[in-house]
Chain A
Amino acid sequence: MARDYTPKRVKAGAGRPVAMRCKACAGRFEVAHPAATATCPDCGEGWKIRWFTPDSGMIIAPLNWTDYQVRSRGSAAGGRGNA
């Protein structure tokens, strides 16, 4: 596990759901603080989430790099402009 940089005040409170963009299919979905992982409802890809404040979090990595690479490398063309 990576070091936890989450500020104490963030740990104490719950944030509202934050919109994130799936790095695999570019679809938007919401994640509520303090979820450490999330799954894209469109493509089913699982992601590790890093929270910096209750209303600021980001997708940091796939839950499983190897599986992700195998799936993504083989995926067909035609994704949106910003994957």
Chain B
Amino acid sequence: MNKMAVIDLTARTVEVGGVPEDLRRRFLGGRGINTHLLFHMVDEWTDPLGPENVLLLGAGLLTGLPWVGGTRCNFTAKSPETGHLGDSAAGGHFAAELRFAGFDHLVMKGRAERPVYLWIHDGRIEFRNAAHLEPLNSVETQNAIKAELGDVKIQVAAIGPAGRRLVRWACVMHGVGDAWGRTGMGAVMGSKNLWAVAVRGNGAIPVADPARMMEVTQAHYAQITGTKGFLATSNYGTLIRLNNTRTQGYEGGFNHQQNMTELSAELDSDVFLDKYESAKASCFNCPTHCRHQHEVVLRDGTRKRGGGPEYYGVGGWGSQCGCSDWRTILEAWDYCNEMGLDTGSATAYTAWLMELYEKGIITEADTGGLALKWGDHDAIMGVLRQTVEGRGIGALIAGGWMAAARDIGRGAHRYFDHVKGLSIECDDVRGHRAQVLGLATASRGADHLRSRFTLEEFSLPEKVTEKLVGVPIPADALSYENKEHACIWTENICAVADALGMCKFLTKWLSVGLLGVGEFRDAIEAATGTAFSVEELVRVGDRVTNMERLFLVREGMSRKDDAPPEKFYRPWTHGPRAGTRVEPEAYEALLDRYYAVRGWDRKGIPGGETLRALGLEKEGAFLADRREVRFVWNDAGKEGAVHAAAQG
């Protein structure tokens, strides 16, 4: 049975124990157990960059098994970017190797006196000096550790210069293109003087019924590869969304000022495949192999190879920043990966600054001499370099958008599109009502991987969605009817998938024909011998979501934080659905229904009966004396967090 290790970086001690069976049953693993641990190990006063914050690393329950798609693990901590729930998952081969090395969960606390990295191999955990890695970027760091330890098969999760300099939206990198990107987990790692985690193992993950496991694996492999969309996903990966959003008028252009841009035909996923893609790669044991590899000759003549890109970066620097030059997009993408910057935040921050510059709210005097013109190569790269080097406008945004908006003033905060402090994705989903609700209620802030009802884009017949969700979901994306059920169904299936270490690209999150909770149940039973019913698994998803909600409520959040960005209430300006906007009354009614189905009150606070049914009454005990944080902006755009009095 695999272990959980509590690593005290201050005292340089390690305690190893088993993962409690009860915790497995209630939260499975990965994001599920991490959420439980985080709730109990930090509180609302924990400084995200202080030694009292914990950094949790949790592999999914089915990660590393000879099953399909169990590739992922989560880093979880209190987020230095948003100030509340921080969590990010990544694939690749790291998580499987962690389990081969004998560990499912790591709890890293305290702060090392000097920079260290952890060397985890075959049940042992060693602290290693990392000071000599300082000049290296994230990819070089990984290679240096592999060379130092003499094994190229070692898998490494490392921060880059951005994480070491505590940029609040720094990520943790694995390989050249896999990132635990969102919510600043790289900064938490940097704050602990922990620069990398290296893993290698020769151990086996016990399987309860190997014959049944192979049977289930073969069936699921056939199911995944037999779907109509399988080859489309394999070929295009996430870039499939680039052309879809651009042609259908929800691309989110120029910091969400436009929904359909006039950017050049160069910004087409086929152009990337034709000119820049060099190979495809796969995460551990995944048949989809959707990860692009690229080779590009940069403007200075340098030939560069890298992993990716994904839609988030391409749509971000493309539509959002108005750039249709693939060389610029790929250069920015690679730079972020090497420096350890989250591309999601990097694109959002750059687009925000460009809009501020366009509107005259900031000038060259604020930007360190950068002319932040839309689509400009030097502007895009300049913002990124300044951020890593801590100068110019980069020094401001390195501290997060809220601090930057406070320093800039002049109403700058109004132009940053976010939910719960986390920037929204580059596409513009205001015309998909379930997706708007999912974006607004997502636990870690604006998020497409926890609550986006992707199926809403396919105009599925109601009989199909009824079979899936339990109630018919109108094929019309503009309808608000029953969309609360679609959102909750998505949240629950995503929570279970994250707890299992499962990539969303292999689940019904993406396509009706892919794996769902029924398939998860079969795989869990074969792997662990533990029988779950479909209802019990859905309840696990419900429990994880409610646990995260309790965390947010304890941080002072409530209904006011479950709102889409302000721009979503304004109409789309172009394209076949010009005029589409989120109607406030209809959205509030939808949110009411969502709360009611969730068993939360009208403020979005989980009710006692709901918590009792999920076995979370102990965690919910604080609700009797909860506090609420309000972000208040005065006329000068100054932000301040005001802790209001306890509310009933």
Query: A69-83: contact bitstring with B at CB < 8 Å (1 yes, 0 no)?
Result: 110111111111111
A53:B231 contact, CB within 8 angstroms: yes
The answer to whether B229 has its CB under 8 Å from any CB of chain A is yes
Given the known inter-chain contacts A2-B271, A56-B232, A62-B247, please indicate yes or no for A81 contacting B575, CB distance below 8 A: no
**Option from A3, A62, A72, A82 in Cβ contact (under 8 Å) with B477:** A82
Q: What are the residues of chain A within 8 A of B577 when measuring CB–CB?
A: 77, 79, 83
Per-position binary interface string of chain B over residues 474-488, scored 1 when its CB falls under 8 Å from any chain A CB and 0 otherwise: 111111000000000
- Given A3-B273, A5-B235, A83:B459 Cβ within 8 A: no
Residue pair A75, B264 in contact (C-beta under 8 Å): no
Q: Is the C-beta of B617 less than 8 angstroms from some C-beta in chain A?
A: no
Verify if B249 is at the interface (C-beta below 8 Å from A).
yes
User: Are the CB atoms of B235 and A52 closer together than 8 Å?
Assistant: yes
10 nearest A-B residue pairs (beta carbon): A52-B231, A65-B265, A79-B576, A81-B476, A2-B270, A77-B579, A81-B477, A73-B574, A81-B478, A23-B247
Closest chain B CB from A76 CB (angstroms): 7
Query: B459, A25: Cβ atoms under 8 Å?
Result: no
- Bound together, the chains give a CA A65 to CA B251 distance in angstroms of 14
Q: Within residues 245 to 301 of chain B, which ones have a CB less than 8 A from any CB in chain A?
A: 247-249, 260-262, 264-265, 268-271, 273-274, 277
**Interface of chain B, helix or strand or loop or mixed?**
loop
Q: Are A75 and B578 in contact (CB under 8 A)?
A: yes
Name the residue among A23, A50, A72, A81 with the largest chain B CB count within 10 angstroms.
A81
B457 CB-CB contact with A under 8 Å: yes
**List of A residues within 8 angstroms of B476 by Cβ:** 80-82
- Tell yes or no: B244 within 8 A of A by CB: yes
Q: Are B229 and A69 in contact, with the CB atoms below 8 A?
A: no
B229 contact from A56, A59, A75, Cβ within 8 A: A56
B580 at the interface (CB under 8 A from A): yes
| Neighbouring A residues of B479 by C-beta, 8 Å | 81
Number of A-B contacts (CB under 8 A): 105
Give Cα distance in the complex from A42 to B20, angstroms: 60
Q: Give the chain A neighbours of B40 by CB distance below 8 A.
A: none
Residue B132 at the chain A interface, CB threshold 8 Å: no
Q: A29: CB under 8 A from chain B?
A: no
User: What interface size band does chain A fall in?
Assistant: 35 or more
Min distance, Cβ A40 to any Cβ of chain B, angstroms: 12
Q: Contacts A62-B247, A79-B577: A5 and B475 contacting too (C-beta < 8 A)? A: no
Point out residues on B near A: beta carbons under 8 Å.
Answer: 228-232, 235, 243-244, 247-249, 260-262, 264-265, 268-271, 273-274, 277, 431, 456-459, 474-479, 574-580
Residue in chain B with minimal CB distance to A55: B228
Residue in B closest to A64 when the chains form the complex, CB atoms? B265
Partner of A56 from the list B228, B262, B474 (CB cut-off 8 Å) is B228
- Partner of A23 from B228, B244, B274 at Cβ < 8 Å: B244
For A36, the chain B residues whose CB sits under 8 A away are none
User: What would 8 more interface pairs be, CB under 8 Å, given A52-B228, A75-B576?
Assistant: A23-B244, A23-B248, A24-B247, A70-B262, A72-B575, A76-B578, A82-B477, A83-B575
A45 to chain B, nearest CB (A): 9
Minimal Cβ-Cβ distance residue in A for B230: A52
B-contact bits for A15-42, CB 8 A (1 contact / 0 none): 0000001011110000000000000000
Bound together, the chains give a CA A66 to CA B324 distance in angstroms of 13
CB-CB under 8 A from B274, the residues of chain A are: 1-3
Q: Are the CB atoms of B262 and A83 closer together than 8 Å?
A: no
- A12–B467 Cα distance when bound, in Å, is 37
Contact, CB under 8 Å: B260 / A73: yes
Q: A24-B576, A52-B235, A55-B228 are in contact. Are A83 and B248 (CB under 8 A)?
A: yes
Residues of chain B within 8 A (CB-CB) of A60 are 243, 269-270
Q: Report the bound CA distance from A22 to B597 in whole Å.
A: 35
Known: A61-B268, A69-B260. A77 touches B580 (CB 8 A): yes
Closest beta carbon of chain B to A16's beta carbon, Å: 13
Contact B580–A65 (Cβ < 8 Å): no
Nearest CB on B from A68, distance (A):
7
Residue of B nearest to A77 (CB): B579
